[in-house]
């Protein structure tokens, strides 16, 4: 029970986020109206993706320093879960855009940047799969993971701010203030963010355990 407290917390937080996000009253906002409820799903998924990619970066750097394949497994599985969250973020974002912007895809700078980031990480996985040797695959994957994260920051947080964007917080639009997030939305939003992050860690931990079981022979040879 002591080791599972954060999993219980994850379930409680997400249960509140789902129930509260769908049923609690929300302010009437121009154009957004009831679609503002997607704030509790779309944005926290992206927060979770960024946290997962950051964790992957840390383990890739650890692998480059120590050469332990276990660190590479951790890095890989954090990427996989991050891509899952990123895909869900794109889908929920497109659904939101359909109702608020009139089209699922508007070539908005933030949309394009997010899509490029996802493609870079998918390319990293494709590159890994093309190498058979475990050590070379891990080293190549770690280097490209660092490269992918180095592009993630400017693509998501810098370039969209340099041009007009429909997304709040970019191109001169306000971000995380009363104009785009009413105060009554904030508690449920932050609960959802924490819940989605914990879910991402939980999913990744299960994937890591499964990978360690499958690759125990390779890990044994590497440590021998």
- Dihedral sign from CA coordinates of 97, 42, 85, 159: positive
The burial class, CB within 10 Å (0-12 / 13-18 / 19+), for 200 is buried
pLDDT of residue 219: 62
Looking at residue 221, its pLDDT comes to 59
pLDDT value of position 162: 78
Which residue is listed with tokens 């998918």?
122
Q: Which of 159, 8, 128 shows the shortest CA–CA distance to 60? A: 128
Report the pLDDT value the prediction gives residue 174, as an integer from 0 to 100. 46
* Model pLDDT, residue 1: 56
- Ranges of H-type helices in 101-185: 109-129, 134-153
pLDDT at 30: 65
CATH top class, domain 5-223: mainly alpha
Low-confidence stretches of the chain (pLDDT beneath 50): 172-179
Question: Measuring CA to CA, how many Å separate 173 from each of 16, 109, 121, 141?
Answer: 29, 13, 28, 37
Ordered by start, the domain boundaries in the chain are: 5-223
């Amino acid at each position: 029970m002591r080791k599972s407290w954060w999993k219980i917390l994850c379930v409680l937080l997400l249960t509140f986020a789902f129930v509260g996000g769908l049923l609690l009253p929300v302010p009437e906002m121009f154009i957004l109206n009831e679609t503002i409820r997607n704030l509790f799903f779309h944005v926290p998924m992206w927060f979770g993706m960024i946290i997962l990619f950051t964790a992957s970066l840390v383990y890739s750097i650890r692998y480059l320093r120590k050469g332990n394949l276990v660190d590479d497994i951790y890095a890989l599985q954090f990427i996989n879960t991050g891509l899952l969250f990123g895909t869900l973020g794109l889908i929920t974002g497109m659904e939101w855009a359909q109702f608020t912007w009139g089209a699922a895809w508007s070539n908005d700078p933030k949309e394009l940047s997010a899509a490029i980031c996802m493609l870079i990480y998918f390319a990293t996985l494709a590159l890994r799969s093309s190498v058979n040797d475990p050590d070379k695959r891990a080293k190549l994957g770690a280097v490209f993971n660092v490269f992918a994260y180095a592009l993630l920051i400017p693509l998501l947080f810098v370039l969209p701010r340099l041009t007009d964007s429909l997304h709040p917080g970019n191109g001169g639009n306000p971000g995380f203030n009363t104009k785009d997030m009413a105060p009554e939305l904030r508690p449920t939003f932050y609960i959802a963010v924490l819940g989605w992050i914990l879910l991402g860690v939980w999913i990744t931990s299960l994937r890591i355990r499964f990978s360690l079981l499958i690759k125990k022979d390779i890990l044994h040879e590497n440590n021998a």
